[in-house]
Structure 1
Amino acid sequence: MRIARIAVDGRELHARADGDAWVPIEDPYAAFAAGTGAADTGERVDGCDATLLAPALPTVLVGIAQNRGAEPEPPLPVQAWLKSPRGVVPHGTTVRVRREAGRVVAEAEIAVVIGRDTGDPGDGLVTEANAHEFVLGVTAVNDLSYPDRAALDVRNFESKGGDGSTPLGPWINTEASIDDLVLRLEVDGEVVCDSSAQEMPVPVRESIAYVARWLRLGPGDVIMAGAPHSSHEVAAGSTVSVVVGGLRLETPLR
């Protein structure tokens, strides 16, 4: 199922795609926790009457570092960092490039949307083997970064923060595998990076288990799984597309 968040008539709704229309559904996280599918509400919304929102509203937004499949070898152990959820913007949102911050790099990543409470980190409820059982689905994310700032700010506050730094969407694919996904970055329609989940030194499920061992996650929280050969320098005036499986997230830059 493709689950989106839409705005229509002053309301914000979860909805599933049905051709060119949207069918509002009950809370997908409550349904996931109950082990059932989210039921339709009996309404139907024409696509042109709805505004597409970011598919999730994370309280916790975690990035996985050093998951690029590059030197040095062997790969570093899994590392994570926190990013402000306020930087999340929907598919199609125009993002202003910060000229004073130096180069800007787009990073195509798989975004894992947590479906239910992962429990007390000390309890070890989430393992690599069962990590998928806590995932509602996946979506695409563009981790817009300013690498020149990283030399002055090793905590990534400046290089990874700011308004519009995390385009997310367009919707959540609840049927996609977290183990085998195409991952591609396009700039103005040209493929500049072509990768996959399988090229990550740290598998997605290992990243989920690692984060859950240190931090309690809940419905709607997001883990950005890293950029294996999927980052490229970009500039204002370009449109950046992140492709994850059958999802395409587009972000114009100005």
Structure 2
Amino acid sequence: MRIGRAVLDGTVRHVRLDGDVVRPVEDPYVALGEGRRPHDDGEAVPAADLRLLPPTVPTVLVGIAQNRGTSDHPSPVQAWLKSPRTVVAHGEPVRLRRDAGRAVMEAEVAVVIGRDTGSPENPDLTEGNAHELVLGVTAVNDISYPDRSTLDPRNFESKGGDGSTPLGPWIDTAASLDTGLLALELDGTRVCGTTVEAMPVPVRESLAYVARWVRLGPGDVVMAGAPLSNHEARPGRVVTVIVGATRLETPLR
């Protein structure tokens, strides 16, 4: 199932993609907690008539900053927090900062948490059962300004600009945490291509690490890092992040 969010009759609703139409559904997080698929809850609407919102509004947005086993990142896996206010929808233009140096697009797997992960001292989420606490996977572009990192090792400036987290458009509830395509395109030309399984730190390991230090809940997002899927871009380009079957487009201004 591919789940998103849209405004229907003036109300923000969860919807699922069904061919050329979208169908309103009940709260998918409630359904996941009860161990079932969400039921349809309204009339179908042509997909072309809707402007999708970000598929989730996270309270906690976590990035993975280090990926063990590469020459560039020899440190153990590390996480950092990003403001949820930076999240924008598929297709929404993003104005790059002109005072922060180079802008780099980072195509990443975004894992949407579906259930409370429990106390960090004894979390319910482990590497083995991570898929059971996840609603699904979507695409994210962690827009970054690496020239600021020498003065800002905590990523506050380099990753915190308005619109720096395009997310969506769909949460794929059937996507694997272990395999899948991960790619980046500029104006339709592929500039980076890798796979989820090629990432130095597996997604499951990153999720388990985060859950040992921060309690996550329904709708929260963990961005799994981009050691092999990043590329510089300038205003005027259209960036496409591909995660499995999900394509996230962002025009740069």
Distance 1:39 1:200 in 2: 35
Residue 220 of structure 2 is aligned to residue 228 of structure 1: no
Matched letter for residue 45 of structure 2:
V
- Residue in structure 1 matched with residue 71 of structure 2 by the alignment: 71
Q: Is 1:213–2:203 an aligned residue pair?
A: no
Q: Is the 8 A contact 1:6 1:12 kept in 2?
A: yes
- AA aligned opposite 1:187: L
1:1-254 aligned within 5 A: 1-67=1-67, 70-72=70-72, 75-254=74-253
Q: 1:252 to 1:69 in 2, by over 3 A?
A: farther
Q: What is the CA–CA distance in structure 2 between the aligned matches of 1:39 and 1:123, rounded to whole Å?
A: 33
Q: Deviations over 1:146-178 (max 9, x none)?
A: 001111111100100021000000110000100
User: Identity over the aligned pairs, expressed in percent?
Assistant: 66
The RMSD of aligned alpha carbons is 1.2
Separation (CA, whole Å) in 2 of partners of 1:65 and 1:243: 20
Distance in structure 2 (CA, Å) of the matches to 1:249 and 1:69: 28
Following TM superposition, by how much is the alpha carbon of 1:48 offset from its aligned partner in structure 2, in angstroms?
3.4
Q: Is the 8 A contact 1:64 1:207 kept in 2?
A: yes
Report the alpha carbon displacement of residue 72 of structure 1 after superposing the two structures with TM.
4.6
- 1:14-57 Cα offsets, whole Å, 9 max, x none, are 01111111100000000001101100013212223322000011
Conserved in 2, the CA contact under 8 Å of 1:107 and 1:145?
A: yes
Q: 1:71 to 1:62 in 2, by over 3 A?
A: same
Q: Secondary structure at the match of 2:30?
A: helix
**Matched position secondary structure for 2:212:** helix
- Separation (CA, whole Å) in 2 of partners of 1:72 and 1:64: 14
SS in structure 1 at match of 2:48: helix
Matches of 2:195 and 2:137, distance apart in 1: 14
May I ask how many residue pairs the two structures share in their alignment?
253
What CA deviation, in whole Å up to 9, does each residue of 1:62-117 have, x standing for no partner? 000122863157x4211000000000000001000101111000000000000000
Aligned equivalents of 2:182 and 2:195: distance in 1? Answer: 5
The CA distance in 1 between the partners of 2:187 and 2:142, in whole Å, is 17
Separation (CA, whole Å) in 1 of partners of 2:191 and 2:68:
15
Query: Is contact 1:105–1:146 with CA below 8 Å preserved after alignment?
Result: yes
Return the letter of the residue paired with 1:103: R
- Contact 1:69–1:229 (CA under 8 A) maintained in structure 2: no
* Residues in 1 aligned to 2:195 and 2:67: alpha-carbon distance in whole angstroms: 12
Answer yes or no: is the 8 Å Cα contact 1:69–1:199 preserved in 2.
no
Partner of 2:193: helix, strand, or coil? Answer: strand
What 5-or-longer segments of structure 1 have no aligned partner?
none
Judge conservation of contact 1:69–1:200 (CA < 8 Å) in 2: no
- Report which stretch shifted further, 177-186 or 47-56: 47-56
2:48 partner amino acid: C
* TM-score, normalising length: structure 1: 0.97
SS state at 2:7 partner: strand
SS in 1 for 2:42: coil
Displacement of 1:124 after TM fit?
2.9
8 Å contact 1:25–1:40 — kept in the other structure? Answer: yes
Distance 1:19 1:132 in 2: 26
Distance in 1 (alpha carbons) for counterparts of 2:49 and 2:224: 33
User: What one-letter code is carried by the residue in structure 1 that aligns with 2:27?
Assistant: D
CA distance, structure 1, for counterparts of residue 195 and residue 166 of structure 2? 19
- What is the letter of the counterpart of residue 222 of structure 1? V
